[in-house]
Amino acid sequence: AQTVTQSQPEMSVQEAETVTLSCTYDTSENNYYLFWYKQPPSRQMILVIRQEAYKQQNATENRFSVNFQKAAKSFSLKISDSQLGDTAMYFCAFMNAGKSTFGDGTTLTVKP
Amino acid sequence: DTEVTQTPKHLVMGMTNKKSLKCEQHMGHRAMYWYKQKAKKPPELMFVYSYEKLSINESVPSRFSPECPNSSLLNLHLHALQPEDSALYLCASSLTGQNRGELFFGEGSRLTVL
């Protein structure tokens, strides 16, 4: 069975600063996908970024980038130039064989 | 259209009631999912339908009964629920049931069982 661990239940960052959210996972699979999802308060969950395990290059999406270390089974999310709208709960997720496993989430607060 | 639409948004029911949650997507996705989410917790997978067939049931109690009438619709029938079943029920879809599909989530149906 896969496990996903997010060791930071809560984090805060000043607007315009950079913050990194941690995620580690455990699996014996070699072919899988990793995702970061964002769930703002009382709003729907949306995809932030995804990484294919077979790709060595780290994924980037505008202000969001990941540091994917396959051997270490680590998948951290870096948010640059944080904005107030980034305030949300962030979930790291692992997908294999049609099943997603989510971490417990990190609540990020961006302060003005 | 990149939406997953869930109805109703809120539902209050007694333990003897029968109700249904509905989910609809028109993105041509062939995999659809039901998740249960408690406050400040991650979504917990309940069921997965792939090409309109139930492919995963995460040992969910029989008081929850999923149905996939066609590739665009997913229902969750509720009967004889318990107060601890109160939660946000999320529907999601993905292009296929394979590894690479990101999940598209609906806004959820918030269920309260009295």
For residue A41, give the nearest of A103, A102, A109, A101 by alpha carbon. Answer: A109
A21-39 pLDDT, tens per residue?
Answer: 999 999 988 888 999 999 9
A89 contacts B55? CB cut-off 8 A: no
Is a pLDDT exceeding 60 seen at residue B99? no
Element (H, E) at B109: strand B109-113
Of B46, B83, B40, B50, nearest to B61 by C-alpha is B46
Give the distance from residue B62's alpha carbon to the nearest chain A alpha carbon, in angstroms: 21
Q: Please, which pLDDT band fits residue B100 given cuts at 50, 70 and 90? A: low
Q: How far is B73 from chain A (nearest CA, A)?
A: 19
